[in-house]
Structure 1
Amino acid sequence: ATEVSKRIPLVSGLGGDSSDAAATLCGLNKLWKLGLSESKLLDLATHLGSDVAFFLYGGTALVEGRGEVVTPLPPLPHRWVVLVVPNVPRLPEKTGQLYASLKTSHYTDGQITERLVAELKENREPSILFNTFENVAFTHFSTLSVYRAHIIKMGAPSVHLAGSGPTLFTLVKDKTQAEDLYIRCQQQGMETYLVETVGSLPP
């Protein structure tokens, strides 16, 4: 039996299940000395879930197709990240529900992604963060907008949805400011985490 100590909140939009699956794949490959190639691991990952392949690489990447086409990118500039996991009812088949709610008008022509990729390749500060799920998540999670407004009121420069939610996050350059916001959110009774961005980890 394999025991996984989970530290990422469940069904939160933070990729906890997918990252656990990727870590288990890599761990078993080493433990059992299978010698599976990167391409074979990638094939197995895509059968487990759309986000699993990304976590085989880690770091910053452009993910295309059904998640099986992963192109590593230069790392984001170092930032402190304040994460707030709102206390909202869980949605059954959350990601599927949100995808089903998206309309053609919610998708862009790809220019935002191309712009972000170009900025990262040029080691520039990303000028925009975009998540199309924000078009529908705030309807499915009725109190999400209240959480976002409250976090902004406490000093967050901007607040974004992580994955399919409901976790919200803000990026902060200064560690002291990030710690202050983290404490403020905790004092308001919100489930809050303070983390920092990292590059891709060694295999």
Structure 2
Amino acid sequence: MTLWAHVIPFGDSTWTLPLAVSIAVALLLGGDRARAIRWLACFGAGIALIVAGKLAFDLGGWCLPSIGFYSISGHAMQTTAIYPLLFMMLFSAVGPQAARWGFLLGLAASMFMAVTLLAGNYHTLSETLAGMAVGAMVVCTYLRWQPSLRPAHLSLLVALPVAVVLLVDMHGTVNPTKAALWQRAAVWLGATEQYTRQIYTDPVSGTRRVSVRLRRLS
């Protein structure tokens, strides 16, 4: 297994969704109900945009091949939205200055995920940049926020996601749910075709290429 394959799960919904919920729970228990609701609303809007973009390509074939854009990267969006805020909250236990460094560390983690997506042929450059842009819009409202949460609440930022991942078969829950919702969406939208794209590196020229395949839905 390559290095990229080890990094990718940290941007997958099976890990990022519990993290997103843990942020909201920590804010709520810390007495910041308004910010918890805003976080869920903003993150939910980002997820909705990702889903809409994927449906547009998967079921409608909408894309911009000239710039290599087929769908917005969900991995890039979620890591850019979550990790800067997560690390800022965790580092706030040390002090305001540490919280700012935590935000930068989270941003660096999201940029490393972006490099991983490109190097591993998971997404094109335009898809990755679009995902990071959406994630940045979600988290940008927290740039000047100075968290003041208790250590007990901050511990939930790590304990809750770890507990969920260990106790719940997230892959067995999330992936079948995604597949079922996709099938239901195809019925609702009256789709008769499904598009998929694959990114690969040409073994001869070494250039990156994108292959789009069409499958008729029964």
Higher normalized strand content (fraction of residues): 1
Shorter chain as denominator, the TM-score bin is under 0.3
Greater C-alpha Rg? 2
Higher normalized helix content (fraction of residues): 2
TM-score (norm 1): 0.26
